[in-house]
Structure 1
Amino acid sequence: MEEPFLLRDQELLIPCEATWQTNHFTVELKKVTRLAAPMAIVTTAQYLLPVLSVMVAGHVGELELAGVALATSFTNVSGFSIMFGLVGALETLCGQAYGAKQYEKIGTYTYSAIASNLPICFLISILWIYIEKLLIYLGQDPDISRVASSYSFWLIPALFAHAIYVPLTRFLLAQRLILPLLFSSLTTLLFHILVCWTLVFVLGLGSNGAALAISVSFWFYTVILSCYVMFSSSCEKTRGFVSDDFMSCVKQYFRYGVPSAALTCLEWWLFELLIVCSGLLPNPKLETSVLSICLTTGTLHYVIPSGVAAAVSTRVSNKLGAGNPQVARVSVLAGLCLWLVESAFFSTLLFTCRNIIGYAFSNSKEVVDYVADVSPLLCISFILDGLTAVLNGVARGSGLQHIAAWNSVVAYYLIGAPVGVYLAFNRGLHGKGLWCGVMVGSAVQAVILSIVTASINWKEQAEKARKRIASTETRLA
């Protein structure tokens, strides 16, 4: 019985002249919501795995917490962000192939992504093995660098798991098989709590046990998804592999994966740079603590619009591949509607709780008051980040990753970062100045993406999707 796992029921084509009728918009809004809500939970569960390990490691000792925090930042920047970014190509390729009913091509794209990711993981692993020497060379404390190096080493298996499970996630999402992702991610989260506690406290492995728990849990998740893909009748048509099509799929994967990785990494790296800059301000302990709290809170919120973005990307790519551009356009409007609702709700909630939110992270009255002072800016960031997340999802679904990547360069690094540094160091706004720079970058990015999205010729994008999926078939013929 596979029906409970299927969200890919027969859909009516919406004629162009009827696109904007209320009932059609309502139907599409429901379809996007059915994808976005569980996908937000999936993203949250995946995000909590390393967070829980950091929290557990923090109870081992102050040195371990510092080393784990440094290792987490380094491995995110140099490895995990790259894996997540590259696989953004599958949102275009697998989604449009499914819409075009080129089912075997979906499997070939996914296998080509896994095969392409694994050699990259080997290169990244070499860097992680020598992280201690690199950190000491960069001026970090030798004891903290030693803990960070050991923690990073035990994260290497998790990196290889990412190379497999992230493509499988996109493989299932492109087919709107969302419930298997939901159940497996929640199961893995519960499994991780048990494993992490056992390795750290029962077996006494300390911070290394926390890292090993992440690796074990992600491989547990990978095995679950792999078994579902291999044995479920839902994937019977799409798990096939066309060997003659493999190299062309690899080329397409990198064609869309590299700009997608640039898009993800540029945003990820900016926030890491934000924390580094906060350490150069007067009273660096306070500034770093507050900005870390803001970053953690912002990231926790970001998983919600990320779920909406994944849903919109899937709907857009499916409909463009199916040659139904009008529905793709309505999907964008449905995603923006969900963004308005969730950003208004969470911004209002944060503003209402601004005087107590800091106590979730610190007992220091100074830190709590500072967080309350910065919270209105964080509320605005919730709105801007949600909008950019959804519009970036539209870009990935349409195959416009390169435009979004260049937009990030301009918005964050040529405009936002200089503004933040100027306000923080020259105008004396300190941490609030740095965060204002991020907000300016997000605003510029949102404006540019809005203009690009409004200017999309959806019929032309549908034609490009058809040619993109058919290109390898022509070569085979």
Structure 2
Amino acid sequence: MDSFQSSGVNEPLLQPKSPPSPVAAEQVSSLLEETLSDTTLSWWSRLRKATVIEYKYLYQLAAPAIIVYLLNNVISMSTQIFCGHLGNLELAASSLSNNGIQLLAYGIMLGMGSAVETLCGQAYGAHKYDMLGVYMQRSTILLMITGIPIMFVYIFSEPLLILLGESKRVASAAALFTYGLIPQIFAYAANFPIQKFLQSQSIVNPSAYISAATLLVHILFTWLALYVFDWGLFGAALVLSLSWWIIVVAQFVYIVMAERCKKTWTGFNLMAFSGLWGFFKLSAASAVMLALETWYFQILILIAGLLPDPEVTLDSLSICCTILGWIFMVAVGFNASASVRVSNEVGAGHPKSAAFCVVVVTATSFIIAVVFAIVTVILRHQLSYIFTSGEVVSDAVSDLTPLLAIAIVLNGVQPVLSGVAVGCGWQSFVAYVNVGCYYVVGIPLGAFLGFKYNLGAKGIWAGMLGGTTMQTIILLWFTIRTDWNKEVEKARSRLDQWHNTKEGQLMVE
């Protein structure tokens, strides 16, 4: 801490519970670049000092981000748990709607909202603070428009589910739950731009506090809706939608009221309606990139249902995917950190800092993933008993654990590299990589191994892990070969083009 104080950075601004203000963030960023460029220090001294600086910043970003994603996940999961106590049909309906139809909206909205990470992060690093509010509003407009066609998918969910082979009884119940989630679509449309707007400024703690408080309110309201007012599936879904709107409104109120956002939020601006096409292209690429990743392992479950003895297969795979999903939340926190740090440093014109933070966050996430993988292997015979007491399912989970461990390690690296891609604006490139690796290689290879060679669930998962491995290697190679000086120039050019255009139109590569 003394080294920071001697450099003119106020100590309270570096405490984990107080995210840095714009001034403090600039000082820390400049200090990191100066340290990496200081040839009077030995290589080891520069590395040690720079690592201390980066870890202080990384901790402030990653820890609250992980909490936010975990809590948001628990909000949806708690609704399923409540519905499960109503009966098997209600559990099946809420699970099908949440993990199937709702995932469509979540993947698209989260992906499109990630464009704000790139642009707000780079603008923040370049000290063009007034642009952040316009970017957030522009993204919200686009996502609201995108929510309209998605809404029709929700409205016609019952015939779509029947077309996909679900029984009329389950499809009807799932559709009833889905109708209650229609307001959630537009909550997503507002939430993700707001969330990325805050993250790009390293403001993450307020979102964590808001999510924690909302979870408590959500549990209370869901209990009232189901057990006091007897509103059933539709009521439970409406409460879930309401909880997401509570998060949206609370975060927006924070933006309007907080001193930290005075420079970046200057009120509603008609400029948000200009340059929508250029913004849409980057948003669409982001949506494709992240949605394909979000849906990838869901397809694994669908394919597994076609195997012999699907009940045990689906149970074991669902348990493994649930464990992987919880651990994945940690990687998602590092994904957000990588995106913020890279976009801020590139926007600030600090190529060495951008490259260094990529190394630090990737290495940290990888080490944590390896630890989780080792623990998973050690506890492979006990893991399934958290979810079920069946010995057959336990043996199946134990048999899949080596593949689960590999998936955990890969998920310690791949999401971070995706965060780097978002920070630099490489969404289009990564979208093409995802299509090729996931859907041209991974899924066909998994189906071939699972059915042709009778390897069952192990074959399907092994093939899909092959696609993930290929994608990770490509992104790693691309990141290693990146010329960070050129990335700084691209960011500067993009922001200057936006700033110098009378209509405020965004020029996207």
Which TM-score band applies after superposition, normalised by the shorter structure?
over 0.9
Deviates more, 1:133-142 or 1:108-117: 133-142
- Cα distance in 2 for partners of 1:361, 1:422 equals 30
Aligned amino acid, residue 116 of structure 1: L
- Cα distance in 1 for partners of 2:480, 2:233 equals 49
TM-score by length of 1: 0.96
2:432 corresponds to which of 373, 382, 406: 406
- Cα distance in 1 for partners of 2:287, 2:139 equals 13
Gaps of 5+ in 1: none
Deviation at 1:453, TM superposition (A): 0.2
Matches for 1:253-268 after TM superposition, within 5 Å: 253-268=279-294
The match for 1:270 is 296
User: Percent identity of the aligned residues?
Assistant: 33
The match for 1:87 is 113
Matched, 1:186 2:212: yes
Matches for 1:80-159 after TM superposition, within 5 Å: 80-159=106-185
Post-superposition Cα deviations, 1:158-213, rounded to whole Å, max 9, x if no partner, equal: 11111111111101100011111111111112221212222122222222232122
Matches for 1:59-78 after TM superposition, within 5 Å: 59-78=85-104
Change (3 A) 1:32 1:445: same
Matches for 1:22-421 after TM superposition, within 5 Å: 22-240=48-266, 243=269, 245-421=271-447
- Cα distance in 2 for partners of 1:412, 1:7 equals 38
Deviation at 1:104, TM superposition (A): 1.0
Aligned amino acid, residue 217 of structure 1: S
Contact residue 95 and residue 317 of structure 1 kept, 8 A = yes
Contact residue 369 and residue 411 of structure 2 kept, 8 A = no
SS in 1 for 2:413: helix
Deviation at 1:5, TM superposition (A): 4.0
RCO comparison, higher one (Cα < 8 Å, 6+): 1
Matched, 1:7 2:33: no
Contact residue 19 and residue 60 of structure 2 kept, 8 A = no
Post-superposition Cα deviations, 1:389-424, rounded to whole Å, max 9, x if no partner, equal: 000000000111111111111111111111111111
- Cα distance in 2 for partners of 1:253, 1:316 equals 20
Contact residue 349 and residue 488 of structure 2 kept, 8 A = yes
- Cα distance in 1 for partners of 2:303, 2:47 equals 50
Post-superposition Cα deviations, 1:288-325, rounded to whole Å, max 9, x if no partner, equal: 11111111111111110110110111010001111111
Change (3 A) 1:5 1:340: same
Deviation at 1:77, TM superposition (A): 3.8
Contact residue 29 and residue 331 of structure 1 kept, 8 A = no
Aligned amino acid, residue 324 of structure 1: H
Alignment RMSD (CA, Å): 1.7
- Cα distance in 2 for partners of 1:138, 1:443 equals 30
- Cα distance in 2 for partners of 1:356, 1:76 equals 31
The match for 2:453 is 427
Gaps of 5+ in 2: 1-11, 504-509
Deviation at 1:75, TM superposition (A): 2.2
